[in-house]
Chains A and B, each alone.
Chain A
Amino acid sequence: MNVQKQHTSFKFRRSLARFFFNQAMLIVLLVFIIGMSLVAKDFLTVGNIFNIIRQITVHGIVACGMTIVVIGKGMDLSAASILALCAVVNVMLQPFGYLVAIVAAVAVGFIAGFINGYLIGKVKANFIIVTLGTSIFYKGVALIISGGRNLKSRPERIFHFIGDESLFGIPVLAYFLVVTMVFVGILLHKTISGRRLYAVGLNDRAARVAGINVSNVVMWSYIINGLIISLGSIVLTSRLPRIRVGTASTYLFDVITIVVLGGTALSGGVGGIYKTAIGLFIFAIINNGMALLSIPFEYQQLIKGVILILAVLYDEFNRRKRLMY
């Protein structure tokens, strides 16, 4: 009797520990929410929450694409440049009608993703250097076609609708974010291609031996990333009245921080859209909290950097602990 009781209590403790270490980032998120609502009174209001959602939609969408690439053991350092390029193309073609503008932006995203994917997947060049190179290249193209100017966006009503209005009491932007996340979630977790991507990320040699066309999977992960970024660019241009190439450049580190905060490992094959969503909300709360507490911009950068490193350290610590249980 006593032994059995001990056994059940041990089992309970083990499952509790497992839950704790598996869902560590969720707990961090809850702690942040509680802490922020105690510190800043305006934090838990509907207006502020919608405000947060408006601020992070583009981050969230781009982070979805980045998650796909990172699971495939890659990294897209050109994400911000693709975002800028698509946004510039979108804005510049808006005089020809919104449909042309949107289609062109998506096409540019596809091409940009394809160039990355082809060089990394087929030519087998190192992803860091390739995406560094293309990030400079795409940024240059965006600067050349925009002439480095501030571009005025949104003559069309549809962009205004996407950026500012609400549907059923919730900002339209939120729907974009949710739909992208659900789409990527299904792609990753419910399709064969998604499983293949995980296999490639975990061990590309084993995946090849198992009959997976590794270079194709890698290439398509970058192409889908490009397409998702182009969707992000449409949201970006709808939300902001003026677009400059420089506007998009801050997104890269934020997006990487979001993906890593969620616990998607850069070593590939681990992670998912659920984790990225948690990372996104932690990031959003930190950002929003720093704005509510009116911390100067310079310190905001510093704090973000520290949080990035602490998050990864914590994640690594957890992984070791998790192995013990």
Chain B
Amino acid sequence: MKGKITHFIREQKLLFITLVLLIILTAADPRFFTIRSLYSILDHITINGIMAAGMTVLLISGSFDLSVGSVMSFTGIVTIMMQPHGMLLSILSGLIVGTCVGALNGLLVVKGRINAFIVTLGTMIIFKGLGLAVTGSHPVKGSIDAYQFIGQENILGIPAPVFYLIISYVIVWYILKYTKFGRNDYAIGGNPLSSRLAGINVNLYTFFYFVLCSFTAAVSGVILSSRVNTGSAVFGDNTPLIVIAAAVLGGTSLFGGKGKVIGTLQGVLILGLVERAMVIFNVSTNYQLLLRGLIILAVVVTDALTVSKEKVAFRAGET
């Protein structure tokens, strides 16, 4: 019985952290516990959240993408700058450009056989530079008013981004759970070699995981540029950190083969709550950095410790 309870706590530790955070926040600020502030938090985490969903898929396959922040800002810039040619065309071109970066990443990793870390580091620098060059280092303002509705409109009293967040998580959850595309993801991350021997086209799938990850970044870029009605190359400098941290917090392994998109959602939510808590408690930005670093470290360490315990238990069972 006792083992079951500790097991449950270990499995649902994110839920407990969320609850504790909620209690602390409510105690600190009674106005916090309202449906409106919940919406505002969800609204706030949408941009990182959507990217984190795509990143989860990529991390499960054992790869890595540092370029999501640059893709996000570059998509925003392209979308805003294409607005004179019509809204639909501008959004479409933004999404296509963003997704093409993913295709480039995937191609270099799969065909060039370069480490994903280096490839995405390179594309991150390239597209940040390209964004700066295209805009001349100045933010560009949007010219279509209707465009702002994408990120700022309320639907049935709920901010529209909340819907995007829910829709994207449902889609990714469905893909991972019920499609071949998703199951192969776990297989490739678990063991690329045996997946290939089992007849999975590892290269093709890896390529599409990169494309998917960049596509989510492009979608986030459109939402972000619509929220602030601006495109700027300085957006998203810390984004890859936060996104990857959220996925890891949610239990996705950086070694591949393990992870759930629901966990990532919880991770994003926890990071969002922590951010809100730091605002409520009036923590200065420098201490916010420190705390964020500590949270990531704490997550990694507990993860590593539980993994090694599992391994010990596994070995004990073996002999």
Chain A residues at the B interface, C-beta cutoff of 8 Å: 75, 119, 123-126, 128-130, 132-141, 143-144, 148, 253, 256, 260, 266-267, 296-306, 308-309, 312-313, 316
- B122 and A305 contact, CB distance less than 8 A: yes
Give the residues in chain A near B248, CB-CB below 8 Å.
129
Q: Which residues of chain B from 263 to 319 have any CB-CB distance to chain A below 8 Å in the complex?
A: 285-294, 296-297, 300-301, 303-305, 307-308
Task: List 22 contacting pairs A-B, 8 Å CB cutoff, sorted by A.
Answer: A123-B304, A123-B305, A126-B254, A129-B248, A129-B296, A132-B245, A133-B294, A134-B293, A137-B297, A140-B291, A143-B285, A256-B121, A298-B133, A299-B133, A305-B123, A305-B126, A306-B122, A309-B119, A312-B112, A313-B112, A313-B114, A316-B114
Q: Does B137 contact A (CB under 8 A)?
A: yes
Majority SS of interface residues in chain B? helix
* Total chain B interface residues with beta-carbon distance under 8 A: 48
Q: Which residues of A contact B288 (CB under 8 A)?
A: 140
Q: List 7 extra interface pairs beyond A126-B255, A133-B296, CB under 8 A.
A: A124-B307, A133-B294, A136-B293, A298-B129, A305-B122, A309-B126, A312-B118
* A136 and B300 within 8 A (CB): no
Min Cβ gap B302→A in Å is 9
Please indicate which of the listed interface residues B115, B124, B297 has the most CB atoms of chain A within 10 Å of its own CB. B297
Cβ-defined contact, A134 with B297, below 8 A: yes
Known contacts A140-B293, A305-B122, A305-B129; is-contact A316 B112 (Cβ 8 Å): yes
> Which B residues lie within 8 Å of A304 (CB)?
125, 129
A134-B293, A141-B290, A256-B121 known; A128+B64 contact, CB < 8 A: yes
Is the beta-carbon distance between A143 and B289 smaller than 8 angstroms?
Answer: yes
Interface residues of B (CB under 8 A from A): 64, 108, 112-115, 117-119, 121-130, 132-133, 136-137, 241, 244-245, 248, 254-255, 285-294, 296-297, 300-301, 303-305, 307-308
Choose one: A124, A126, A138, A266; the contact of B115 (CB below 8 Å). Answer: A266
Name the residue of chain A whose CB is nearest to the CB of B130. A302
Task: Give CA–CA (A256, B119) in the complex, Å.
Answer: 12
Is the beta-carbon distance between A312 and B114 smaller than 8 angstroms? yes
Q: Please state if B132 and A298 are interface contacts (CB–CB under 8 Å).
A: yes
Measured CA separation A133–B241 after assembly (Å): 8
In the complex, the 6 A-B pairs of residues with the closest C-beta atoms, listed nearest first = A137-B293, A140-B290, A302-B129, A301-B129, A140-B289, A305-B125
Please state if A125 and B64 are interface contacts (CB–CB under 8 Å). Answer: no
Q: Is the beta-carbon distance between B300 and A129 smaller than 8 angstroms?
A: yes
* A266 cross-chain contacts in B, Cβ below 8 A: 115, 117-118
- Beyond A132-B241, A132-B244, A313-B108, whether A140 also contacts B297 by CB under 8 A is no
Asked if residues A299 and B114 are in contact (CB atoms below 8 Å), the reply is no
State A222–B133 Cα separation when bound (angstroms).
Answer: 37
A136-B289 in contact (CB<8A):
yes
Residues of A within 8 A of B294 (CB): 133, 137
Are the C-beta atoms of B286 and A129 separated by less than 8 Å? no
Contact residues in A for B115 (Cβ distance below 8 Å)? 266-267, 312
